[in-house]
Amino acid sequence: MAEWLVEDGIGEERAFRLSNDGIEELRLRWPAQGLLAGMVGDAALLERPGPDGRARVQFASGDQAFARSIPRQASVGAQVRVQVTREAIAERGRLKLAQARHTDAAICDAPSLADQLAVEGHDVRTAATPSPSADWDALWADAAQREVMLAGGSLLLAETPALTLIDVDWWGEDPSAVTGAIVRTLRRFDLGGNIAIDFPTVSTRAERKAIDEQLGIFLQDWPHERTAMNGFGLVQIVRRLERPSLLHRIARDRRGAVARLLLRRAEMLEGAGQIALYAQPSVLDCLRADWLEELRRRTGRQVTLRADPGLAFDAPHAQIVPL
């Protein structure tokens, strides 16, 4: 199995499968963000289960989830044990509640990314500090811009309530060049759920079949279901969704994502002095007190915040300055 590098970052966990070309696959988790996939706990039933055993439940934290397989005889207000199967996902104007299912398992916290990967049989290496071999800033920028540049074109991405769309803007001749880039993007952005890929018009059935076959080869170790390309160049992919992708996290909580990016950059600093964090005021407002204390503990340096309204929103920076 593949080796993964796990960074226990401040405010987020990042797991990378690396190659000589950088990050090939990503898993990203924000531990402080409500209900996490894999956790098991007791929750109060808020409504009578429907015929399919589905009902809303509320945990002691106040977080709610849609649960399935709830016993029909359970009454409103009763405590039921559930396991979270998908985290809550923010969308334009609303929040999709987390999803859960009834279980008899023992109460437990959600497993860390390192634990998840180990259970799946992967080799896991943890990093005490952010790894310079992981091209996180470049990947983050691609997700923030919703565009991946290719030789001969680009991939344009859009997240919607129904699906994630990848529009292939490409005029090359070898379809393997673009199918390989698409698959790499799926893995690098940690995408899941419903995904639609819109290829330029592919004129012949033989060309459509060739692209389908290449997608099958590139995705053979990536659990999913996929339709064949239709006559309009559209392919649909469905993959189990457990958590928001990098694309969705940046789109729906850009300030929080930028704040976490800034903290990773600060952890990588070397030299004597104190750490100065420069960013737009709204980004600095997202830096929780416990995150800043953890940064002080990890680096052994004092930390100062320096608001700069003139900085580009996505361009915070950290540097060592004299005490």
> What is the CATH classification number for the domain harbouring 168?
3.40.630
- 11 located within any domain: no
Which of the residue ranges 35-49, 207-221, 301-315 would you say has the lowest mean pLDDT? 207-221
Q: Tell me the pLDDT of the chain averaged across its residues.
A: 93
User: Do 234 and 153 share a domain, yes or no?
Assistant: yes
Mark which of 208, 239, 270 sits at the end of a domain: 239
Task: Say if residue 176's pLDDT is above 80.
Answer: no
User: Do 143 and 229 share a domain, yes or no?
Assistant: yes
What residues have CB less than 8 Å from 20, skipping those under 6 apart?
A: none
pTM above 0.75, yes or no: yes
Residues above pLDDT 70, as percent of the chain: 99
Mark which of 179, 204, 239 sits at the end of a domain: 239
- 17 located within any domain: no
Which of the residue ranges 103-117, 158-172, 260-274 would you say has the lowest mean pLDDT? 158-172
Rounded CA separation 232/215 (Å)? 17
State the distance between the two ends of the chain, measured CA to CA, in whole angstroms.
47
Mark which of 198, 216, 239 sits at the end of a domain: 239
Range list of β-strands (E), 49-97 = 55-59, 64-68, 79-86, 89-91, 94-96
pLDDT confidence band for 200 (50 / 70 / 90): confident
- 121 located within any domain: no
What residues have CB less than 8 Å from 163, skipping those under 6 apart?
A: 193, 194, 195, 196, 236
User: Do 144 and 221 share a domain, yes or no?
Assistant: yes
**Domain interval for residue 175:** 135-239
- 49 located within any domain: yes
User: Do 67 and 159 share a domain, yes or no?
Assistant: no
Structural tokens at position 254: 């850009």
User: Do 144 and 235 share a domain, yes or no?
Assistant: yes
- Name the domain count of the chain: 3
Task: Say if residue 106's pLDDT is above 80.
Answer: yes
- 130 located within any domain: no
Structural tokens at position 66: 């849609």
Task: Say if residue 1's pLDDT is above 70.
Answer: no
Task: Say if residue 114's pLDDT is above 70.
Answer: yes
* pLDDT for the residue 32: 75
In this prediction, residues 1-16 reach a mean pLDDT of 93
Task: Say if residue 149's pLDDT is above 70.
Answer: yes
Other C-beta atoms within 10 Å of 197: how many?
24
Domain at 92, CATH number: 2.40.50
Which of the residue ranges 31-35, 67-71, 257-261, 303-307 would you say has the lowest mean pLDDT? 31-35
- 158 located within any domain: yes
- 114 located within any domain: no
User: Do 148 and 224 share a domain, yes or no?
Assistant: yes
